[in-house]
Amino acid sequence: MKTIEGGWPAEAKFESTFPGKEYYDKQVFQRELEKIWFKTWLCAGREEEIPNHGDYLTVQIAHENFVVMREKNGNVNAFYNVCRHRGSRLCKSETGHFSRGQIICPYHSWMYSGDTGELVKAPNVPEDDEEFSLSDHPLVQVRAETWDGFIWINVDPNAPSLKESFRLPESWSIYKKYQLENLKIGKKKSYLVHANWKLIMENAEECYHCPNIHPELSRTTPPNQPRNWVSEDVPETKVIKHVGAMELKAGFDRVNIDGKAYRPTFTELTEEDKRKIAYLHIFPHSYICMASDYVFIAAMWPISPEKTMVKGYWLFDPEVLASEDAYIQDAVDFWDITSKEDWEASELVQQGNQSQVYKSGGVLTPLDWRVANFKKYVEGETKS
Amino acid sequence: MIDKTNYTELTNNGYHFVGYSTSIPDGEMQELTVGKEVVLIARIDGNLYAVDGICSHAYAELVDGELDEHCLYCPLHFACFDVRNGEVLEGPATEPLPVFDVTEENGEIWVKV
């Protein structure tokens, strides 16, 4: 019998899914925000999105919004997007620029330094008033770090550092040859998916569905070929998961819509690497798909229990993007089509999970063993 | 004796040698890869037919399905195709299977891809 990914590990077994409620209940969602989303490192974007002092981007997690900006000395800062005066949202756009790095509230023009978060001006409030001091009202900072061209934020002031949490650089060593730090965004797309964030990540954790809903992906990298798993010597952590590599079908040169080569492969890849697409998953919300000539990243952001915003990034060699005859549509279409197939499937699962007959959930098969691992992670984080 | 001239002509016309006639008895089918194409070859009433080996609906290798006379059933959702011309006989597939020219010369099977 041909098996998806060539089979499953010995410990994989049949077990229950989460009960249906976990995918729509407001209290469950609130607990996940507190226990997972506001405690872990999240991929907020790419450094090149905010190259200059004062450039910013914003990130929405449920009811919270964060502004991530480039400070004067080149570091990246992140703050709650909330004025300390009456609580107004400070920046309304998804991206933009603060002149001279000053964040000015649209409501009463309280002005903050984007470099330090300090309140530098509160117009018309007497400066000599003993009951008011600018230094008492700085923006509330959120932690921000960078790695390999990515910007990561963490809402928890007591969380371990990014390096510790991801076990950098050891956990990332096998991906060095993709030179992620140098790659640039060729395309960015956002998708609003009417499904709970866990369903979208769970979908990414199995390829059982691939033959059924991904004819394009399956023709290029047949899911019934054995997967190339990563050696256990390469460290994982609670959130860093190496998901191995899928192999190109004979006759195909690239993991894209038609298998044809439109761009040179990354220079440090071996002949073997060139015929693979490597996958790295970062719990709770992102995956990095490394093909031989581009990289696709998906990062999901929960909006409500039943809605998730997914941001997709396609990265390429900057020289390729700069060339006059740059062509990237083959890669963009491949993941745009495949992603939309995933979103549709997740939306159907969301609908079924809200049924009373799914109250106690369904069943995970050994083929879904990585979904079971993700479930275990969510349970572990939310139980205490 | 093998006619070498004819082989050159086949090659020039884009045909690829894929196997021997004896490997596909009547009523049976085989899957093979030519370049990047997965091709399914079936023999019905002595004649060979070649179609795309992957279902036009989802991703399934049709050789894992069933061949009942000229009816080729997909193993995944039981779409049915006429293996002689690629036409859809039953859904859920809506697109016909691409068809390839196939010929037999001196006990050898040649497919044009």
Instruction: Give this complex's ipTM.
Output: 0.70
A173–chain B nearest CA distance, Å = 33
Domain range for B105 is 4-112
Domain containing residue A66: CATH number: 2.102.10.10
How many domains is chain B partitioned into structurally?
1
Same domain, A81 and A209: no
Suggest the residue from B54, B59, B62, B94 to mutate for an interface test with chain A (most A CBs closer than 10 A).
B59
Q: Which of A101, A133, A158 is the last residue of a domain?
A: A158
**Any A CB within 8 A of B76 CB:** yes
Q: Which residues of B touch A219 (CB under 8 A)?
A: 54, 59
Q: Report if residue A1 sits inside a domain.
A: no
Pairwise CB contact (< 8 Å): A223 & B59: yes
Is-contact A334 A218, C-beta < 8 A? no
Which of A158, A183, A205 lies at the terminal end of a domain, its last residue? Answer: A158
Does residue A279 fall inside a structural domain? yes
> Is the pLDDT at B35 greater than 90, yes or no?
no
- Do both A17 and A55 map to the same domain? no
Take residue A25 and report the two structure tokens written for it: 């209940």
What's the whole-number average pLDDT of chain B?
A: 89
Same domain, A34 and A50: no
Instruction: Say yes or no: A228 and A365 in one domain.
Output: yes
Contacts of B54 in chain A (CB under 8 A): 215, 219
Confidence of residue B3 (pLDDT cuts 50, 70, 90): low
Q: With an 8 Å Cβ cutoff, are A211 and B35 in contact?
A: no
Residues A345 and A309 in one domain: yes
- HSE value, Cβ hemisphere, 13 Å, CA-based, for A199: 30
Give yes or no for residue B29 having a pLDDT over 90: yes
Instruction: Give residue B10's pLDDT band: very low, low, confident or very high (50, 70, 90).
Output: confident
In chain B, which residues have their Cβ closer than 8 Å to the Cβ of A345? none
The CB density around residue A174, as the number of other CB atoms within 10 Å, is 17
Query: In terms of domains, do A320 and A217 share one?
Result: yes
Q: Among the three residues A124, A158, A192, which one is the final residue of a domain in this structure? A: A158
How far apart are alpha carbons B29 and B82 in whole angstroms?
Answer: 13
A164 in a domain, yes or no?
no
Q: Who's near A362: CB < 8 A, 6+ residues apart?
A: A16, A17
Q: What is the pLDDT of residues B53-101, one digit of tens each?
A: 999 999 999 999 999 999 999 998 999 999 999 999 988 999 999 999 9
Per-residue pLDDT band for B9 (boundaries 50, 70, 90) equals confident
pLDDT number for residue A127: 81
What is the predicted pLDDT for the residue at B1? 42
Helix extents (H) in chain B: 4-12
CA–CA gap between residue A193 and residue A345 (Å, rounded): 10
pLDDT, residue A112, reads 97
Q: Which residue of B has its CA nearest to A2?
A: B64
Closest chain B residue to A259 measured between Cα atoms?
A: B36
- The domain in which residue A327 lies consists of 9-38+169-383
Residues of chain B numbered 11-70 and touching chain A (CB < 8 Å) = 33, 35-37, 54-55, 57-61, 64
Q: What pLDDT shows up at residue A1? A: 62
- CB atoms B36 and A249 under 8 Å: yes
**A370 and A228 assigned to the same domain:** yes
| Confidence grade of residue B4 (pLDDT, cut at 50, 70, 90) | low
Residue A225 shares a structural domain with residue A344? yes
- Is the pLDDT score of B5 beyond 60? no
What total number of domains does chain A contain?
2
Residue B7 reports pLDDT greater than 80: no
Test B58 with A212 for CB contact under 8 angstroms: yes
Does A97 lie in the same domain as A222? Answer: no
Which CATH number fits the domain that encloses residue B41?
Answer: 2.102.10.10
Of A211, A223, A252, the CB nearest to B36: A252
What type of residue is B7? Y
- For B58, the closest of A215, A250, A259 (CB atoms) is A215
Sign of CA dihedral A175, A180, A181, A182: positive
A219 with A296, same domain: the answer is yes
The conformational region for residue B92 under phi > 0 = left, psi -120 to 50 = alpha, else beta, is alpha
Same domain? A346 vs A231: yes
Look at residue A204 in the predicted model and tell me its pLDDT. Answer: 97
> Residues A99, A242: one domain?
no
Could you tell me if residue A4 is inside a domain?
Answer: no
Note the pLDDT of residue B49. 96
Burial of A112 from C-beta contacts in 10 A (0-12 / 13-18 / 19+): buried
Distance CA A49, CA A70 (A): 10
Contacts of B57 in chain A (CB under 8 A): 215
Quick check: A209 contacting B, CB < 8 Å? no
Segments in chain A below pLDDT 70: 1
Measure CB to CB from residue B76 to each of A211, A223, A249 and give the nearest one: A211
